[in-house]
Amino acid sequence: MNITRRQMLILLPAAAVAWESVLAGTPESSPNYKMTEHWWSMLIDISKCIGCGNCVRACQAENDIPDGFFRTWVERYHVTDWNLENPEVISPDGGKEGFPSVTEDQNGKYFFVPKLCNHCADSPCTQVCPVGATFISPDGVVLVDQKYCLGCAYCVQACPYGCRYIHPQKKVADKCTLCYHRITKGLTTACCEACPTGARQLADLKNPKDPIHEFLRTHNVQILKPQMATGAKVFYNDLDGSVR
Amino acid sequence: MMTGVEGYMYPNEITLYWSVLIVLYPYITGLVAGAFILASLERVFRVDAVKPTYRLALLTALAFLVVAPLPLQLHLGHPERSYEMYFTPHRTSAMAMFGFVYLWYLMAVLTVEIWLDYRRDIVVMSQSSTGLKRWIYRVLTLGSSNISERALAIDERVGWLITLVGIPSAFLLHGYVGFIFGSIKANPWWSSPLMPVVFIFSAMVSGIAAVMLLYMLIMRLRREKIDMLCVDTIARYLFYMFIIDFSLEMLDLIHRIYEADESFRTLNFMVHTKLYFSQIVLQIFVGTLTPILLLALTQVLKFPEIVRKRMYSVAGCLTLIGIFAMRWNVVIGGQLFSKSFLGYTTYKMALATREGLLMSIALTLLPLFILWVLVKLLPPWPERVQGAFPAETPTQ
């Protein structure tokens, strides 16, 4: 094929732009880790969560989270009688230091709901990112390329679960990475490791031997805001209808 | 309890990310689209009465369009990376595609139309003026000094075609801004297929009002007689557009109230508390019903010229306030409530920061300054063009 100098001058910048597009959104690679062999998710067992805040503290220590922002947090729901639409919810400092105790005269049910990015398969945050700095990796983790993010906060608006924030110092979108730097090395996430009751379990949906398959078959499991049709991959066991 | 927070917000929602600058951005693009539609009334729809504002409307559109990306740029965490939107756009992102719509509108529609319309004047002025001005006009001719009758006829024909393309482009420009909000399913205050349509009509309302006010103001400053036929016609179109815009907004409101879905109680409470002043008072009563009433009166009753001028001025100013309030209520209102529907946060506007009050005032005044320069450079008044060729039609 003969390429003239003029064609070359057009092709070279086009190739550079295309290459940048290919490179954007490539997750960090780890030796011996094959992204295509995994599809990560998390299982949260509401009945096991005691609201100790260990997960929040572990996440903040592992990932250097700025004060006042959260990649994971714990909410305490208080539901009285039949009024499911008006639960009383608190999450003081993301539940990092636990929760105020409940006196005996306060009736109704109390339970804790740990929250984190749902690593949605059809994530609205990924859809709206103007430059593709937010992307879903082949192993099912929604990540942000912080060297590429403009900090426009469109993704923050698009997330139905409030899982994203703009890092006050880095000025880019930040969120749970499912401890990508750990799970690609065969470890579990910091929050799962720190949970004293096993209420949080990292799960690999592509691994047929993962106990999550048996669990999903035999339990009443729900995702958050299913009406949003985001393909959320954080599964909640024993989730009350009042949780949103 | 954190200050400014009522009920329960997800902890990351307490900070509000889209500030007054993002309010300004749809406001400014709305003025662009509206001013252009007014200009096209004369060009495409042959509404000759509005001819005195044709060039002014185009220059107004350009002045505001040049400033439109600035609030976005200032709002970004990393403005130095914004070029990535053009080089590596994400195809599923409405915001990424908007960059191209903006460029298309600026480069392929507005500047070309203005250039074609002014080409004859530019060539004349490049020959008649002296010094720096001569050089500026010579550059603006882009090397073409052919102003033969045939060339001008081609200019006219191409300009007409561009205006024809420009109308859907103006709709696209501002409809897209509406889509950026309307397509966010996570946010019930925004998520609505009506959003782009409401944005387009409110854009026309604000743009027409702005050009009408600017025309009356400039005529006053130049101590020239205001063409009442022109202003009456503009006011009539403003009235029609306002009726459509208000009907659409009411349709949205009634639909929300009657449907009363899961978000309704939260949004209803917000409108009656945190948004009460900006939505009920400013947007609906002061900024919509009052100007509609004033304009309706001028349609029904015969007022003397001086009274009509006053009424149009008041209606125009209130319209601009009302449309700004509408943008505010969409952008800020959409971030005041929690997506858990259990609580509310507060927007605290800073004063002298990058996204503060002073910056937004400066960004509002900047297009007016640019317009002043443009009017000096490319006078929209035919009789002020000095040179070998006298103007064909004097100002009415």
User: What is the secondary structure of B63-77 as a DSSP string?
Assistant: HHHHHTHHHHHHH-S
Q: What is the largest CA-CA distance in chain A?
A: 86
Task: State whether residue B258 sits within 8 Å of chain A by CB.
Answer: no
Decide if A114 contacts A74 (C-beta within 8 A). Answer: yes
Per-residue pLDDT for B385 more than 60?
no
Confidence category of residue A14, pLDDT binned at 50, 70, 90: confident
**Chain B residues inside the 8 Å CB shell of A170:** 77
Distance from CA of B132 to the nearest CA of A (A): 36
- Give residue A25's pLDDT: 61
Query: Residue B78 and residue A150: Cβ atoms within 8 Å?
Result: yes
Continuous segment of H or E residues that includes residue B220? helix B194-221
- Residue B240 CA to residue B254 CA, distance in Å, equals 21
Per-residue pLDDT for B2 more than 70?
no
3-state SS assignment for residue A223: coil
Name the least confident of A81-90, B120-129, B354-363.
A81-90
- Give residue A26's pLDDT: 65
**Residue from B201, B246, B206, B208 nearest B230 by CA:** B208
Per-residue pLDDT for B321 more than 60?
yes
**Chain A residues inside the 8 Å CB shell of B92:** 126-128
Question: Phi, psi at residue A52, to the nearest 5°?
Answer: -75, -20
Q: What is the average per-residue pLDDT within A211-235?
A: 97
Supply A133's token pair: 């700095």
Report the residue from B11, B90, B92 with minimal CB separation from A70.
Answer: B11
Confidence category of residue B129, pLDDT binned at 50, 70, 90: very high
Q: What is the average per-residue pLDDT within A219-238?
A: 97
Model confidence pLDDT, tens digit, residues B195-211: 999 999 999 999 999 99
Query: Residue B13 and residue A159: Cβ atoms within 8 Å?
Result: no
Supply B277's token pair: 């002043």
- Residue A236 CA to residue A49 CA, distance in Å, equals 11
Nearest CA in chain B to A164: B12
- Give residue B19's pLDDT: 96
Question: Phi, psi at residue B154, to the nearest 5°?
Answer: -65, -45
Model confidence pLDDT, tens digit, residues A142-157: 999 999 999 999 999 9
Task: State whether residue B99 sits within 8 Å of chain A by CB.
Answer: yes
Q: What percent of chain B has pLDDT over 70?
A: 96
**Chain B residues inside the 8 Å CB shell of A20:** 87-88
**Residue from A184, A164, A168, A94 nearest A123 by CA:** A164
Question: Phi, psi at residue A157, to the nearest 5°?
Answer: -70, -35
What does the buried/exposed string (b/e) look like for A22-45 if buried means 16 or more CB atoms within 10 Å of the residue's CB? Answer: eebbebeeeeeeebeebbbbbbbb
**Chain A residues inside the 8 Å CB shell of B264:** none
**Residue from B23, B10, B15, B12 nearest B75 by CA:** B23
**Residue from B276, B259, B260, B261 nearest B344 by CA:** B276
Per-residue pLDDT for A219 more than 60?
yes
Report the residue from A88, A129, A151 with minimal CB separation from B93.
Answer: A129
- Give residue B396's pLDDT: 40
- What pTM was computed for the model? 0.92
Q: What topology does CATH give the domain A5-237?
A: Alpha-Beta Plaits (3.30.70)
Report the residue from B76, B187, B262 with minimal CB separation from A157.
Answer: B187
- Give residue B384's pLDDT: 47
Per-residue pLDDT for A24 more than 70?
no
3-state SS assignment for residue B38: helix
**Residue from B179, B255, B186 nearest A227 by CA:** B186
Task: State whether residue B264 sits within 8 Å of chain A by CB.
Answer: no
- Residue A175 CA to residue A166 CA, distance in Å, equals 9
- Give residue A36's pLDDT: 94
Query: Residue B11 and residue A68: Cβ atoms within 8 Å?
Result: yes
Nearest CA in chain B to A96: B11
Supply B92's token pair: 């599923």
Calculate the CA B264 to chain-centre distance. Answer: 30
- Give residue A145's pLDDT: 96
Model confidence pLDDT, tens digit, residues B137-177: 999 999 999 999 999 999 999 999 999 999 999 899 889 99
- Give residue A19's pLDDT: 77
- Residue B313 CA to residue B240 CA, distance in Å, equals 17
Model confidence pLDDT, tens digit, residues B54-113: 999 999 999 999 999 999 999 999 999 999 999 999 999 999 988 899 999 998 899 999
> Residue B127, exposed/middle/buried by CB under 10 A (0-12, 13-18, 19+)?
middle
Task: State whether residue A127 sits within 8 Å of chain B by CB.
Answer: yes
- Give residue B320's pLDDT: 98
Beta strands A88-90 and B343-344, pairing class: unpaired
- Give residue B388's pLDDT: 41
- Residue B271 CA to residue B274 CA, distance in Å, equals 6
Q: What is the average per-residue pLDDT within A190-218?
A: 97
Report the residue from B8, B17, B90 with minimal CB separation from A130.
Answer: B90
Taking each continuous run of H as one helix and of E as one strand, the counts in chain A are 7, 11
Decide if A91 contacts A128 (C-beta within 8 A). Answer: no
Model confidence pLDDT, tens digit, residues B21-65: 999 999 999 999 999 999 998 888 989 999 999 999 999 999 999
Task: State whether residue B83 sits within 8 Å of chain A by CB.
Answer: no
Query: Residue B14 and residue A90: Cβ atoms within 8 Å?
Result: no
Taking each continuous run of H as one helix and of E as one strand, the counts in chain B are 15, 2
- Give residue A28's pLDDT: 65
- Residue A152 CA to residue B79 CA, distance in Å, equals 9
Nearest CA in chain B to A135: B90
Name the least confident of A106-115, B180-189, B335-344, B382-391.
B382-391
Decide if A30 contacts A180 (C-beta within 8 A). Answer: no
Residue bearing tokens 């200050």: B3
- Give residue B53's pLDDT: 95
Query: Residue B15 and residue A89: Cβ atoms within 8 Å?
Result: no
Task: State whether residue A121 sits within 8 Å of chain B by CB.
Answer: no
Q: Which residue has the higher pLDDT, B9 or B108?
A: B9
Confidence category of residue A168, pLDDT binned at 50, 70, 90: very high
Kindly report the average pLDDT of chain B as a whole number: 93
**Residue from B115, B136, B112 nearest B125 by CA:** B136
Name the least confident of B125-129, B184-188, B294-298.
B125-129
- Give residue B209's pLDDT: 98
- Residue B295 CA to residue B297 CA, distance in Å, equals 5
Continuous segment of H or E residues that includes residue B41? helix B20-43
For residue A217, give the amino acid letter.
R
Distance from CA of A183 to the nearest CA of B (A): 25
Residues 60 through 79 of chain A touching chain B, CB cutoff 8 Å? 68-70, 73, 75
- Give residue A185's pLDDT: 93
Rg (CA), chain A: 21
Query: Residue B12 and residue A162: Cβ atoms within 8 Å?
Result: yes
Query: Residue B335 and residue A149: Cβ atoms within 8 Å?
Result: no
Contacts of the segment A96-103: beta carbons below 8 A, 24+ positions apart: A96/A53, A96/A56, A96/A57, A96/A60, A97/A53, A98/A51, A98/A52, A98/A53, A99/A51
What secondary structure letter does DSSP report for A208?
Answer: T
Per-residue pLDDT for B390 more than 60?
no
3-state SS assignment for residue A222: strand
Confidence category of residue B383, pLDDT binned at 50, 70, 90: low
- Give residue A105's pLDDT: 73
Nearest CA in chain B to A168: B77
Residues 186 through 205 of chain A touching chain B, CB cutoff 8 Å? none
Decide if A163 contacts B189 (C-beta within 8 A). Answer: no
Terminal Cα-to-Cα distance of chain B (whole angstroms): 64
- Give residue B34's pLDDT: 95
What residues have CB less than 8 Å from B365, skipping those under 6 apart?
none
- Residue A119 CA to residue A161 CA, distance in Å, equals 11
